[in-house]
Structure 1
Amino acid sequence: MSRKSFGIFLVITLSTCIYWFSSIKSVIYEPFRQALGVSNAQLGFLLGLIGFVQIFGYALLGWLQDLLPIRKLIAVDLWGYGTFALILGLVPHLPYWFLVLAFVAFGFFGDAIYWPTIQKSTKGLATERTQAAAFSTQECIRSAIGLVLNACTLGLFTLGGSKIFGARIAMCAYPIFMMLFSFVVLRFIPKDFLHEQGRSEGRAKNENGFKMVLQAMKLPIVWTTGFGAAATYLIYVAANTYFLPFVQASFKLSDAAAGLFGIVNSGLMGLIAAALSGVLATKRFSTTPQWMALLYVIVGLVCVLVLVTPRSSGWMIPVVVLCCLVTFVCVALRAVYYAPIGEYGVDSEISATAMSIASFIGYCPSFFAYMLFGAIIDGFDTQKAYNIIFGMLAAFSVLGIVVCLLGNRVILNKRRLEQAASPVVS
Structure 2
Amino acid sequence: MLTKKKWTIFSLLVLCGGTIYKLPSLKDAFYVPMQEYFHLTNGEIGNAMSINSIVTTIGFFLSIYISDRLPRRFTMSVSLIATGLLGIYLSTMPDYWGILFVWALFGVTCDMLNWPVLLKSVSLLGDNTQQGRLFGFFETGRGIVDTIIAFSALAIFAWFGGGYLGFKAGILFYSAIAILVGVVLFFAMKGCTEEPVSTKVSEEKKTENAGLGQVLKNKTVWLIAFSVFCVYAVYCGLTFFIPFLSNVYALPIALVGAYGIINQYCLKMVGGPIGGLIADKVLKSPSKYLFYTFIISAIMLVVLILLPHKHMSVYLGMVCTLLFGAVVFTQRAVFFAPIGEAGISEKNTGAAMALGSFIGYAPAMFCYSLYGHILDANPGLIGYQIVFGLMAVFACLGICISGLLIKNIRKDRQLRSMATV
TM-score (norm 1): 0.84
Q: Which residue of 2 aligns with 1:317?
A: 315
Q: 2:295 aligns with which of 297, 300, 312?
A: 297
Residue 148 (structure 2) pairs with residue 133 (structure 1): no
Letter in 1 for 2:56: Q
3-state DSSP class of the match of 2:221? helix
Cα deviation for residue 31 of structure 1 reads 6.0
Q: Which residue of 2 aligns with 1:332?
A: 330
Which ranges in structure 2 are unaligned for 5 or more consecutive residues?
A: none
Cα distance in 2 for partners of 1:349, 1:305 equals: 44
3-state DSSP class of the match of 1:8? helix
Letter in 1 for 2:235: Y
Cα distance in 2 for partners of 1:250, 1:23 equals: 28
Cα distance in 1 for partners of 2:89, 2:145 equals: 24
Residue 16 (structure 2) pairs with residue 15 (structure 1): yes
2:67/2:350 contact within 8 Å kept: no
5 Å-filtered alignment, 1:271-282, equals 271-282=269-280
Q: Which residue of 2 aligns with 1:79?
A: 81
3-state DSSP class of the match of 1:335? helix
Q: Which residue of 1 aligns with 2:305?
A: 307
Q: Which residue of 2 aligns with 1:117?
A: 117
**Distance change (3 Å), C-alpha of 1:70 and 1:258:** same
- Most deviating of 188-197 and 1-10: 188-197
CA RMSD of superposed structures (Å): 3.4
- Most deviating of 82-91 and 172-181: 82-91
**Distance change (3 Å), C-alpha of 1:421 and 1:67:** closer
Cα distance in 1 for partners of 2:416, 2:243 equals: 50
5 Å-filtered alignment, 1:22-421, equals 22-26=24-28, 36-88=38-90, 91=93, 94-149=94-149, 151-152=151-152, 170-190=170-190, 193=193, 197=197, 200=200, 201-208=202-209, 213-239=212-238, 241-251=239-249, 257-309=255-307, 315-376=313-374, 381=379, 383-417=381-415
Cα deviation for residue 230 of structure 1 reads 0.6
1:66/1:199 contact within 8 Å kept: no
Cα distance in 2 for partners of 1:311, 1:160 equals: 43
Letter in 2 for 1:353: A
Letter in 2 for 1:229: V
Letter in 2 for 1:237: C
3-state DSSP class of the match of 1:126? coil
Cα distance in 2 for partners of 1:286, 1:4 equals: 25
Which ranges in structure 1 are unaligned for 5 or more consecutive residues?
A: none
Cα distance in 1 for partners of 2:180, 2:343 equals: 39
1:293/1:401 contact within 8 Å kept: yes
- Most deviating of 322-331 and 107-116: 322-331
3-state DSSP class of the match of 2:174? helix
- Most deviating of 44-53 and 81-90: 81-90
2:227/2:402 contact within 8 Å kept: yes
1:26/1:262 contact within 8 Å kept: no
Cα distance in 2 for partners of 1:75, 1:422 equals: 39
Q: What whole-Å deviation, never above 9, does each CA across 1:383-405 have from its counterpart, x for those lacking one?
A: 45433432221111111111111
| Matched pairs, number | 418
Cα distance in 1 for partners of 2:166, 2:302 equals: 36
Cα deviation for residue 190 of structure 1 reads 0.6
Cα distance in 2 for partners of 1:42, 1:380 equals: 24
3-state DSSP class of the match of 1:21? coil
Cα distance in 2 for partners of 1:388, 1:36 equals: 35
